A = this chain, B = another copy of it.
Amino acid sequence: MPCLVMKFGGTSVADLDRMERVAQRIGGAVADGHEVIAIVSARAGKTDELADLVVRTSPFYDAREYDAVTSAGENVTSGLVALMLQKKGIPARSWLGWQVPVETTDAHSAARISGIGTSNIRSRFNSGMKAAVVAGFQGVSPENRVTTLGRGGSDTTAVAFAIAFEAVRCDIYTDVDGIYTADPRIVGGARRLERISYEEMLELASLGAKVLQTRSVELAMQHRMPIRVLSSFGNEAGPTSGTIVCDEGEIMERNVVNGIACSRDEAKLTIVSVADRPGIAAAVFGSLAEAGVNVDMIVQNISEEGRTDITFSCPTDQADFAEKALAGVKESGDVNYRALVTDRDVAKVSVVGIGMRSYAGVAGRMFAALAAEGVNIKVIATSEIKISVLVDRKYMELAVRSLHDAFDLETGT
């Protein structure tokens, strides 16, 4: 019997009424002839509530106990959804991480799945169970302690189950009905994509389209497990609803550009006139890493008279830490520079598309579109399937809309 994995996030199971809709969806998949593994999150807000209790108890908490406490929300949901299925006459059972077991590393609060035991659930399927309702987000360490996988970890739980049970697909039910060519709140004509490649999804995820946890996409890509992202609030959940994230080989018609992503809260820091010799960049970015600054884009201008400028971007709320770290390396004498210029009011806008690999001229078209609107480009960074620019924050929405038009995303190319 084909196995289907279905994952429901916190807003999808926020209360008993919504859980009832989840149970209906699971029941539908069972009626379609699937053995279903449903991965459920805690009710919306519950994990935050528990995490808050931990932080109030002990700001420098032991992550093992943090996990013991914060994993409890999923226990409740999995039991309740299993009961709802039973009430509909569907043989169902709840499963906690340790019961499956979901084996993880002992990196508490950010554990990684190392293996999923399939024999317990399989033997239940063989004796008539139709739906296994698994508590997401949690696993068990080699020491037999409860672990959690970090925020968004239930996505990764779901993909890992889909791989372990050789599911036909991993359906992720969330509060949006798919992946769009741009944020629909910014671009009225944004279009839902039927399919998108893993690589593009990874770029979009890291660019601020927070629909799927990055690790879940990486894992799916590695095992070529198709993911479908769809809304748990829509009425229809037919074969064409949502967006399928899959191997690029399965996408017939590739667009040059598939999406415009943006990230509002960026800061740009320029280290002016620093010595251009080996070891300087290492000292600069080493100190930033130590200070916990997530450096994103890095550009270095050409050298003049042995000195150069280094510009990088990071989240706005980390700019203070970055400044402090750089003042520190200057004071210690490791790195000498003339000035540090910080611009806290920038945003990042990116065009993403696997088609770029075989299609020249994307950068030119992008820069022309921005120039036509009078948007000044402050920094440029590129990867194989993405071009990102920093612009003044006030132009972000304008830039996204103009690029959406420039690449004909509303109709598709």
Indicate with 1 or 0, residue by residue over A36-71, a CB within 8 angstroms of chain B CB atoms. Answer: 000000000000001001101110011011101101
The reply to whether the CB of A109 lies closer than 8 angstroms to some CB of chain B is no
A68 — which chain B residues lie within 8 A by C-beta? 75, 78-79, 82, 94, 96
Task: Please determine whether B53 and A65 come into contact, CB atoms closer than 8 angstroms.
Answer: no
Q: How many residues of A contact B (CB 8 A)?
A: 37
Task: Please determine whether A57 and B146 come into contact, CB atoms closer than 8 angstroms.
Answer: no
The reply to whether the CB of A83 lies closer than 8 angstroms to some CB of chain B is yes
Question: In the complex, which residue of chain B has the Cβ closest to the Cβ of A74?
Answer: B72
A96 — which chain B residues lie within 8 A by C-beta? 68, 146
Once A16-B53, A58-B84 are accepted as A-B contacts, the answer to whether A69 and B79 lie under 8 Å apart by CB is: yes
Partner of A76, one of B16, B56, B69: B69
Chain A binding surface, main DSSP class: helix
Task: Please determine whether B75 and A62 come into contact, CB atoms closer than 8 angstroms.
Answer: no
State the oligomeric state as a number of copies.
2
A145 — which chain B residues lie within 8 A by C-beta? 99
Task: Please determine whether B57 and A16 come into contact, CB atoms closer than 8 angstroms.
Answer: yes
Task: Please determine whether A65 and B50 come into contact, CB atoms closer than 8 angstroms.
Answer: no
Given contacts A16-B53, A53-B80, A98-B98, 14 further A-B contacts (CB under 8 A): A54-B79, A57-B83, A58-B84, A62-B82, A62-B83, A64-B93, A68-B82, A68-B96, A69-B75, A69-B79, A72-B73, A72-B76, A75-B75, A96-B146
**CB within 8 Å of B: which residues of A?**
16, 19, 50, 53-54, 56-58, 61-62, 64-66, 68-69, 71-73, 75-76, 78-80, 82-84, 86-87, 93-94, 96, 98-99, 120, 144-146
